[in-house]
Amino acid sequence: SNTASTTLLMPILASISRELEMNPLYLMVVGTISASLAFCLPSATGPNALVFSFKEIKVIDMLRTGVFMNVLSVLIVVLGMSTWGSSILGIDGTFPDWANSTTTT
């Protein structure tokens, strides 16, 4: 499911952002929203399964349209985070102190 995939992906994105020294919200918000944008297969989301159940649409039709919609949606999400991320979420180019997982005692 998309929720399970997102749950597995978040620690990986957090590690990548730590290595790149960028705000983890940038990658994690984009990853979370993009995981919800599944348009290719009938099993991807409930609405896809509902439409497919009427037998008017074939899987190949969903794939053709879905690939285009997935790519377009991910580009829109990345563009949105790049432009609105700083004003809405306060994401800038610096690595925040709260994201540093190393502690010294």
Distance CA 75, CA 92 (A): 19
pLDDT digits (tens, 9 = 90+) for 17-32: 888 888 888 888 888 8
pTM for this predicted structure: 0.71
Taking only the tens place, the pLDDT of each residue in 36-85 is 887 777 777 777 788 888 888 888 888 888 889 888 988 898 888 888 87
Phi and psi, residue 11, nearest 5°:
-65, -35
Is the model's pLDDT at 103 over the cut of 70? no
Res. 12: pLDDT tops 90 = yes
Residue 41 identity (one-letter amino acid)? L
